[in-house]
Structure 1
Amino acid sequence: MKNLVCKSFLAMGLLSTSFGVFAAGDVDNGEKIANAECVACHGQGGNSSTPAFPKIAGLGDKYLLKQLLDIKNASANGDPKKPKRQVNEMAGLLDNKTDKDLEDIAAYYAAQSMQLSGAQDVQVQVNSGAKVDGLKLGARVYRAGNLETGVPACTGCHSPTGMGNAPAVFPRLSGQHADYIEKQLKAFRAGDRTNDGETQVMREVAAKMSDAEIKAVANFISGLN
């Protein structure tokens, strides 16, 4: 257990220094851009009403800026040497945005407050075939991980309350749509999302998680505060 925790915190330190992205945007200008171009999908103040589009309020300016840059870099004219994140719903939407525009957008959304989605009473089927309480399983995985399979606790990076660590570029998870969190964990596990830094910390964590654990922890996180 000690080695697992040490490895997790070592990865955290390496990941937090690998992004090299620092946002210092203009909140007022970011609000103008957001209200004109982002609100239809991400909702007023970054609180989207549908799981198809993530809530981006209060995620931290460094994290938001990194995601925007990575999404922009996934376009046809992106730099193949830089991290990229393919998001089909945003294809081409950032192509004409300057880095300063993206800094401003990140600063605006980072200053907003995220609304909780709320967890649900669900059952999930584990690999024995048994159906278990999804909230209890999610809470256990989030807080303690899974020692048998090497899954570290989510609290190490994202904090016990799910508020993340903005200076270290670990995003807030608390209140996010459960379906969206589940989708991202499965994308990391499948290698469809790869912009988690050179240490591949999220890919390594997700690779060890079962479908039941992913669904359970995603549901738990949506109501965590």
Structure 2
Amino acid sequence: MSFRPAGFRHAVVRYAVVLVFALSSSVVIAQEAKAPAAAATAAQPAAAATAEQAAKPTEATAAVKPGDATAGAGKAAVCGACHGMDGNSTDPQYPKLAGQHESYIARQLTNFKGSKRQNPIMLGMASPLSEQDMHDIGAFFATKSSLPGVADQALVERGQQLYREGDATKGVPACMACHSIDGRGNPGAVYPQLAGQHAQYVEATLKSWRDGTTWGDDAHAQIMPPIAKKLDDKDIAALASYVEGLHAADGSSGAAAAK
């Protein structure tokens, strides 16, 4: 017969309760430790998928390639109705696009599409175009040659002064500072070619700027309106006529042909 102290049974019971509680706590702690790790493991594929998706260029974010004149030929076919199939419009209310810079044409189409430059007809034409389409169309017209026009002899002197020297008394800078000596413009700065452009179109555009019209809201679009406000009707007529007759002479300098 064994001998046990009177309090032995109660001690055993207490020990069992403590042991069960300790084991239960260990299980809970282990489960809690595993939960964040499992969540992190599950999140890794999702994060990787998100990163992979972000890395893939979408149509909206894909880099635009330099314009393709061959691709632009087909896309520009509809433009021929107003601007001429080779970019030399016969109706002076529509500008010549032949020889115009790709960057400038793409910029103006973007402005039409975004309604920064207001024209109901061009809004409809530009709206379906992607940025790549615009550059392709610009590249196509850039390969064409603008046909030279003629200037009115009575207006050449004043027109030439404004274009080559400006008018310090009116605060008007020389046009050739941006549009070059022969009117070919500056594609890097997105300043357009003016040489040979219809006088009627140039005159209407300058008057529109003088009256407050803008072709955008950025710094580039704000250059011409303040200058146009300093020109009177005679100045605008002379400058527009001179620009129409402006063309390259011997491929290096500008000249205005008079009629």
What TM-score do the two structures reach when normalised by structure 1? 0.77
Q: 2:75 — aligned with what?
A: 33
- Answer yes or no: is 1:50 the counterpart of 2:84: no
Deviation at 1:88, TM superposition (A): 3.1
Query: In structure 1, how many angstroms separate the alpha carbons of the residues matched to 2:71 and 2:237?
Result: 37
Matched, 1:164 2:185: yes
Q: Percent identity over the alignment?
A: 40
* Structure 1 residues 100-122: Cα deviation after superposition (integer angstroms, max 9, x where no partner): 1111111111121111122123x
2: distance between equivalents of 1:172 and 1:109? 12
Aligned AA for 1:113?
S
Kindly tell me: are residues 151 and 23 of structure 1, through their superposed partners in 2, closer, same or farther at Cα, counting changes over 3 Å?
A: farther
Answer yes or no: is 1:205 the counterpart of 2:247: no
How many angstroms does 1:25 deviate by?
Answer: 1.3
What is the rounded CA distance, in whole Å, between the counterparts of 1:23 and 1:170 in structure 2? Answer: 21
Structure 2 equivalent of residue 154 of structure 1: 175
> What runs of 5+ residues in structure 1 fail to find an aligned partner?
1-21, 75-83, 122-132
Paired with 1:196 and 1:118, the residues of 2 have a C-alpha distance of 34
Match of 2:119 in 1: 87
Q: Which structure carries more relative contact order (alpha carbon 8 Å, separation 6+)? A: 1
Match of 2:207? 186
Contact 2:83/2:94 (8 A) holds in 1: yes
Give yes or no for the alignment of 1:108 onto 2:167.
Answer: no
Runs of at least 5 residues in structure 2 that lack an aligned partner in the other structure: 1-63, 248-259
TM-score (norm 2): 0.67
Moved over 2 A (4+): 193-197
**Structure whose residues are more often helix by fraction:** 2
Alignment-derived partner of residue 63 in structure 1: 104
Q: Which amino acid aligns with 1:210?
A: D
Task: Specify the alignment match of 2:54 in structure 1.
Answer: none
Q: Is the 8 A contact 2:213 2:225 kept in 1?
A: no
1:214 equivalent in alignment to 2:236:
yes
| 1:23–1:106 CA contact under 8 A, matched in 2 | no
CA RMSD of aligned residues (A): 1.6
> C-alpha deviations, 1:55-101, integer Å up to 9, x for none?
01111111110001101111xxxxxxxxx111233231222122211
Largest Rg, 1 or 2: 2
Identify which range, 169-178 or 22-31, moves more after superposition.
22-31
- Find the residue that maps to 2:76 and give its secondary structure: helix
- Count matched residues: 183
- Compared with structure 1, are the counterparts of its residues 173 and 196 closer, same or farther at alpha carbon in structure 2 (3 Å cutoff)? farther
- Distance in 1, matches of 2:168 and 2:143, equals 37
Distance 1:99 1:143, change over 3 A: same
- AA matched with 2:238: A
